[in-house]
Structure 1
């Protein structure tokens, strides 16, 4: 069997909807020079062996997950065509929401956060064991060794975590109501390498945190489908959605589209993706901002514990995992 090396975390089936007439998307890398890269979908948003898993008998399985996701992605383009035509797609909501949930769980923004959370937990445990005298004394001159320790996590662990993340997204899906908005303005919707976003709309833009909401408060979920289509989930739409299912709406306000795009830009992890070169200034405003993992030590009942959050900030380089083969 041919071994697949290039695994897409943003599928070509999704990116095709954001292509210009030349069949390319404009990729603005947050660590780049501000100039977009015009790329065909097959040449962007992938990593080598991103979904590879160890086999029980040894070696790596490079194909199973990539093939599975490819099968699921095949249903996306015809569904988008039906949405563009404003057809009743309530018979295909499972496809819609499963695709969206996977696009939250599979991306580096999510998988990196899981691995960094596990790394911080391991490091904190080592420090606690040292304080409790359960480790040998640190070598002379290396008193800060544990503070400076870099911990890398086997990426296979974040593949396992995808199941938990998807279940969490589906719970979110079931808690709100949904509308697809057709964009009637000249300002296209942007997307990113982390296209599923949710936040607390009762807070100001500067106070909002990524994926942080009050359990009893309002929430907005946004997922760009194309430059002209946006899926929105919101607490205020819940009653209508229960009665009538997925409905369509129209947007005629450039300002509203710009607000959506600002969220897309700051939720983007390593890249923002556009169908045009007309929105470079807005994208540049968020070049140093991504949803990143933050861990803080807190004292609970006299014991130290770690508090993990996702916040807007600058990405740091994740320690690279080295397997036994290097």
Structure 2
């Protein structure tokens, strides 16, 4: 009889172990308390209890199926990382690399909370339309509809993960990938939301997370170890189509610092480091995370705008069945 799994990691241990120090631990900086660093084993962080649990039609809950399936992808990742570090040809591993990156984009709280926030706003927009049509009564004054909390069953965002993974296909089709080897003394950071992309033609302060123009410039960053990173770019597309995934070096501390700034502000709740020394950049972006704002106008017509921005992370309300 299989044992129910309780600790469901959204950042897999197989990934985090590439960032451990000599003691087998990582440094976790929580954005809510950036000056309070946790020096922990990868097994004890970046998980939620029953995060992938699903209700069964006949009753009860399946706590293992998704966790077991994800493990089949995670278990092969350390071998890919080893090949990256040794600068080996990786074209026979491209499917594994694409699958791992896509899964890591879709499974994290940053993505699932965004889905639930979008659903909650859609519910409010529907109610607003029904109020104007006289199908339901408006909230009593001075209460406003936009002030009413709407929570979404987390099971719904589990279903949405497949859609988020499929949406990575068009993103990947716009870019080529390269493995960047960090030759500086400044290690790469990672986070609880390690897959990020943006429009590099827009100034840093004006960029929006996961927002690019159709067929426009795009950069994707995925830290693999403190000294290896997968870089996707439309500039690499033709080379990638001709030669596949190649290796390159970076010797610029300034470039590594800019990468760490992106990683820090794309981080949702936590930034992860192999060693102390990057507290300044972590602290600089501790007050912002990517999240989904929505605009709702009730008096005339609902206008729902879904666009991720960098800002204070909204507090997620607990779902009560």
Structure 2 length-normalised TM: 0.97
Q: Secondary structure at the match of 1:206?
A: helix
Q: Which residue of 1 aligns with 2:319?
A: 321
CA contact (8 A) 2:129 2:301 kept: no
What value does the CA root-mean-square deviation take over the aligned residues?
A: 1.4
In structure 2, relative to structure 1, the CA distance for the partners of 1:132 and 1:12 (3 Å cut) is: same
Give the aligned partner of residue 105 of structure 1: 106
User: Residue 48 of structure 1 aligns with which residue?
Assistant: 49
Question: Which 5+ residue runs of structure 1 have no aligned equivalent?
Answer: none
Is the partner of 1:94 in helix, strand or coil? helix
C-alpha deviation, 1:58, in angstroms:
0.8
Shift of 1:320: 1.0
2-structure distance, mates of 1:202, 1:30: 28
Q: Offset of 1:143 from its aligned partner?
A: 4.0
2:73 counterpart residue number: 72
Partner residue, 2:279: 280
The structure with the largest strand share of the pair is: 1
Match of 2:204 in 1: 205
Query: In the TM superposition, what is the alpha-carbon distance from 1:137 to its structure 2 partner?
Result: 5.4
The answer to whether 1:126 aligns with 2:124 is no
Alignment of 1:133-172 (within 5 A): 133-136=134-137, 138-139=139-140, 142-172=141-171
- Taking the aligned partners of 1:259 and 1:143, their CA distance within structure 2 comes to 47
The count of aligned residue pairs is 319
Contact 1:14 1:225 in 2 (8 A): yes
Cα offset for 1:35?
Answer: 2.3
CA contact (8 A) 1:36 1:277 kept: no
Separation in structure 2 between the aligned mates of residue 147 and residue 217 of structure 1, nearest angstrom: 35
Aligned 8 A contact 1:291 1:311 in 2: yes
Residue 188 of structure 1 corresponds to 187
Query: 2:232 and 2:23 mapped to 1: Cα distance?
Result: 32
TM-score scaled by structure 1? Answer: 0.95
Q: How far did residue 128 of structure 1 move?
A: 2.1
Partner of 2:83: 82
Q: CA deviation at 1:230?
A: 0.5
CA displacement, residues 87-131 of structure 1 (integer Å, 9 cap, x when unaligned): 101001000110000010000000000001100110121122122
Q: Aligned with 1:87: secondary structure?
A: coil
Tell me the distance in 1 between the aligned counterparts of 2:273 and 2:46: 13
In 2 relative to 1, CA 297–149 (structure 1 residues): closer, same or farther, beyond 3 Å?
A: closer
Task: Specify which of 310, 313, 318 is matched with residue 312 of structure 1.
Answer: 310
Q: Distance in 1 between matches of 2:187 and 2:139?
A: 57
SS of residue paired to 2:242? helix
Paired residue secondary structure (2:294): strand
Cα distance in structure 1, aligned partners of 2:73 and 2:34: 35
The aligned residue for residue 21 of structure 1 is: 22
Deviation at 1:36, TM superposition (A): 1.3
Give a deviation string over 1:44-101, Cα, whole Å, max 9, x none.
0000110001101011111000011111100000110011111101001000110000
* Stretches of structure 2 lacking an aligned partner (at least 5 in a row): none
TM-fit CA distance, 1:136: 3.4
Q: CA deviation at 1:147?
A: 2.9
Name the SS of the counterpart of 2:293 in structure 1: strand
SS, match of residue 249 in structure 1: strand
Judging changes above 3 Å, is the alpha-carbon distance between structure 1 residues 57 and 261 closer, same or farther for their aligned structure 2 residues?
same
Deviation sequence 1:211-262 (CA, Å, 0-9, x none): 0000021000000000010100001100100000000000111111001000
Determine whether 1:174 maps to 2:166.
Answer: no
